[in-house]
Amino acid sequence: MELLDSFLTFLSVEKGLSKNTLASYESDLRRFGAYLDENSIALPGAAAGDIIDFIDLLRGRSYALSSICRYISSIKAFYKYLMIERLRGDDPAETIQVPKKWERIPKALSFDDISALLDTRRTGRTVMRDSAMVELLYASGLRASELIAIRVGDINSDAGFIRVLGKGEKERVVPVNGRAIGKIRRYVEEERPRILGKRQSEYLFVTASGRPMTRQRFWQTISSAGRQVGIELHPHTIRHCFATHLLEGGADLRSVQKMLGHSDIATTQIYTKVTSDRIKKVFKKYHPRA
């Protein structure tokens, strides 16, 4: 699709979007285009009803709310581009609203579950690396994509912080506790040289090929760590735990927002809902008149 290619080029040049984000746009629009083709409709000529029918199809197939939101955002951006380029005189996606993501409350593990996860002894060739990654994830609340992109020079061990490049290429500084720093130091001194062999890499967490770990490989690492303690786990769960446990401990919302790298504090406010629900459960369980 030449039109789709020109749209992706526009996003890359004018908006400066990352390759991963561009790939998501392309995947979403190709899937939508395939749906339209089945109904003999060209992608540039879709009507509002066609978009609504497609979204209903995704809902009927039990797509996650986050995935549906992403599809809608991709479609809205595409037709807005057609308007900018005067390739359409109307915007069929203009009135279609993106569902509120934060109506869906994230799951957070208890502190005991997190402690069991971090304290469990592991075995294997990369046990120090994997343990350091899990520890750092909980200590800093990083996204998985941010974690695997960390370079050796991003860690300031003495000061106890890490420099992170987040969404939209925005840089932030996140504090890291001594336990995580200790595990990272041990990994860097003992295991990382063995993994790399004669290879060189600027990335902190590396694989036997000398390259940074992929998101898929890290997902497998986290899932495996969770299974060892009987927990179904993925990287974002630990990020949720980081935020929820901070707020439960008395941290203010603005500080948590900065550490998570949220541009909008409304995104961070979902965690206040999580902590409120937990308080209610405790009240109902332990108050004699609840």
8 Å CB contact between 80 and 92: no
- Which residue(s) pair with 151 in the sheet? 203
Catalytic residue among 167, 179, 254, 281, which? 167
**Nearest in space to 241 (alpha carbons), one of 65, 147, 121, 106:** 106
Residue 239 is a catalytic residue: yes
Catalytic residue among 76, 192, 239, 240, which? 239
Residue 236 is a catalytic residue: yes
How far is residue 129's CA from residue 92's CA, in Å, rounded to a whole number? Answer: 49
- The tokens of 241 are what? 């735990």
Catalytic residue among 172, 236, 258, 278, which? 236
Longest dimension (CA), the chain: 67
Give the pairing type, strands 155-156 and 161-165.
antiparallel
Residue 143 is a catalytic residue: yes
Residue 271 is a catalytic residue: yes
Residue 286 is a catalytic residue: no
Kindly state the helix (H) or strand (E) to which residue 60 belongs, with its residue range.
helix 48-60
Residue 198 is a catalytic residue: no
The catalytic residues are: 143, 167, 236, 239, 262, 271
